[in-house]
């Protein structure tokens, strides 16, 4: 029996792909291991989004290649976005890797590995067509996140074609999963004890447009709210151009939906947005935020911005800073622009020097840190339900928790000091917010 180790890099979508692979591989001729030194097969689920992610993927593969000498490794597999984009280049540069599989390789990984051992296989197996995995492939999915929450993928691919992004070339066109398949998977996951589902896709607000002729995210959310035992539904990666009054009303009327939305904006200047191919204007973005806050005063916004996009002037950057201070968004991630080949923006001649991109990112983050701290202080006195996310290994009785306003892995914690050993990861508690500790909030048990 071959022991298989899976290393997952990149976004939450990759986490789901690896979980599907783990489920498929955990039966029959294979056994999963958490120790790469003991694995005959290592699969690295790569990310190719930006330069830093590519470098991490390549370094990870090279690191595991050494296990052919120091461990039991027989077969090293690179899978996912990086391979889909650079398969030929990787094969030439990395002879240490035995198989290169694209983004559609994860759902027939069992057959690929069996064929390799039985008859040998070409080193590159990257599909040039795009499909959705069968619903049955998700049935055996092994959720790797803590038991109280799980990611729920509602679509594959992307149709947006933003000028700086190669994801459509790596993931293919947008492909919505049928609503009945999503609901069946949700019910199965919740039946195992999961209480929070986090909806993901490259663009969740686009959901259904390709399959049903119009966006159907609100309809899907309302059906998910009927799943018995499910307590929280959280929405990530909702592009603003398909956020409708129907969706905002759904948030307002359905108590299971967290008053939290991850809405990537990337910039606010109209000329930059147009060059980015974002299909939205500053006025429309401001209107969406206003409509959300009018309907749901405690709505928590998370977003991302890019600094130093080609041609970004000092005035355009100043406009972004001014918007940040006026909008007072709760959570903000900032990425210095990464020049990616095979993208329209990557071919532009008016590239901004890297040091300016980095400098602007730091200025934006410094301003946002103060905004976040002010918002946290403004929340002091609020009472919230929280879930225990981690227990500090260093400070006795320190629990790291989060409420409706925090997504796992990317947002601050609510720090809670209580009796050591009294609570476990996944427990739900009620706290009162009492202060701020750098990025995190502080709470006391009620």
Residue 156, token pair as written in the block: 């594959």
Rounded CA gap, 173 and 160, in Å? 9
Beta bridge partners of 197: 150, 233
User: Is 158 flagged in the annotation as binding?
Assistant: yes
122 class by beta-carbon count within 10 Å (0-12 exposed, 13-18 middle, 19+ buried):
exposed
Cα 20 to Cα 105: distance, rounded to the nearest angstrom: 11
Number of CB atoms found within 10 A of residue 292's CB: 21
225 has binding-site annotation: no
CA angle, corner 277, sides to 271 and 279, nearest 5? Answer: 90
Q: What is the DSSP letter of 197?
A: E
* CB-neighbour burial class of residue 69 (10 A; exposed 0-12, middle 13-18, buried 19+): exposed
Residue 331 in tokens = 């959570």
Angle between helical axes of 179-191 and 217-224 (0-180°, round to 10) = 30
What gap in Å lies between CA 224 and CA 240, rounded to an integer? Answer: 22
Q: Is 162 annotated as a binding residue?
A: yes
Check whether 165 is labelled as a binding-site residue.
yes
**Binding-site sequence positions for [4Fe-4S] cluster:** 11, 47, 81, 158, 162, 165
**Binding-site sequence positions:** 11, 47, 81, 158, 162, 165
């Amino acid at each position: 029996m071959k022991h298989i180790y899976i290393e997952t890099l990149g976004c939450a979508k990759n986490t789901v792909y690896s979980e599907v692979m783990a489920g498929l591989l955990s039966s029959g001729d294979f056994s999963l291991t958490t120790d790469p030194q003991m694995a005959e097969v290592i699969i690295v689920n790569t990310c190719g989004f930006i330069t830093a992610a590519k470098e991490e993927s390549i370094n990870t593969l090279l690191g595991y290649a050494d296990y052919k000498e120091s461990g039991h490794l027989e077969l090293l597999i690179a899978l996912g976005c990086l391979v889909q984009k650079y398969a030929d280049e990787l094969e030439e540069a990395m002879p240490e890797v035995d198989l290169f599989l694209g983004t559609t390789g994860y759902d027939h990984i069992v057959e690929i590995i069996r064929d390799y051992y039985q008859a040998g296989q070409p080193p590159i197996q990257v599909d040039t067509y795009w499909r959705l995995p069968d619903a049955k492939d998700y049935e055996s999915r092994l959720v790797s996140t803590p038991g109280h929450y799980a990611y729920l993928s509602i679509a594959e691919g992307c149709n947006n074609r933003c000028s700086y992004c190669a994801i459509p070339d790596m993931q293919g066109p947008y492909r919505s999963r049928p609503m009945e398949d999503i609901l069946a998977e949700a019910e199965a996951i919740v039946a195992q004890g999961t209480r929070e589902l986090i909806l993901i896709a490259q663009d969740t607000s686009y959901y259904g447009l390709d399959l049903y002729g119009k966006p159907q995210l609100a309809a899907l959310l309302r059906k998910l709210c009927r799943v018995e035992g499910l307590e929280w539904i959280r929405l990530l990666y909702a592009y603003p151009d398909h956020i409708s009054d129907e969706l905002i009303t759904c948030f307002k009327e359905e108590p299971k939906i967290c008053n939290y939305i991850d809405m990537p904006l990337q910039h606010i200047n109209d000329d930059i947005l147009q060059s980015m191919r974002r299909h939205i204007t500053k006025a429309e973005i401001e209107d969406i935020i206003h409509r959300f806050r009018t309907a749901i005063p405690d709505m928590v916004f998370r977003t991302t911005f890019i600094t130093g996009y080609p041609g970004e002037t000092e005035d355009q950057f100043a406009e972004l800073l001014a918007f940040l201070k006026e909008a007072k968004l709760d959570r903000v991630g900032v990425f210095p622009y990464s020049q990616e080949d095979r993208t329209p923006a990557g071919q532009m001649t008016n590239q901004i020097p890297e040091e300016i991109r980095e400098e602007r990112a730091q200025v934006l983050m410094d301003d946002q840190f103060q905004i976040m701290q002010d918002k946290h202080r403004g929340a002091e006195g609020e009472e919230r339900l929280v879930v225990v996310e981690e227990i500090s290994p260093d400070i006795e009785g320190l629990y790291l928790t989060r409420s409706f306003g925090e997504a796992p892995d990317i947002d601050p914690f609510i720090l809670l000091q209580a009796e050591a050993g009294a609570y476990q990861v996944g427990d739900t508690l009620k706290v009162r917010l009492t202060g701020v500790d750098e990025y995190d909030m502080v709470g006391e048990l009620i």
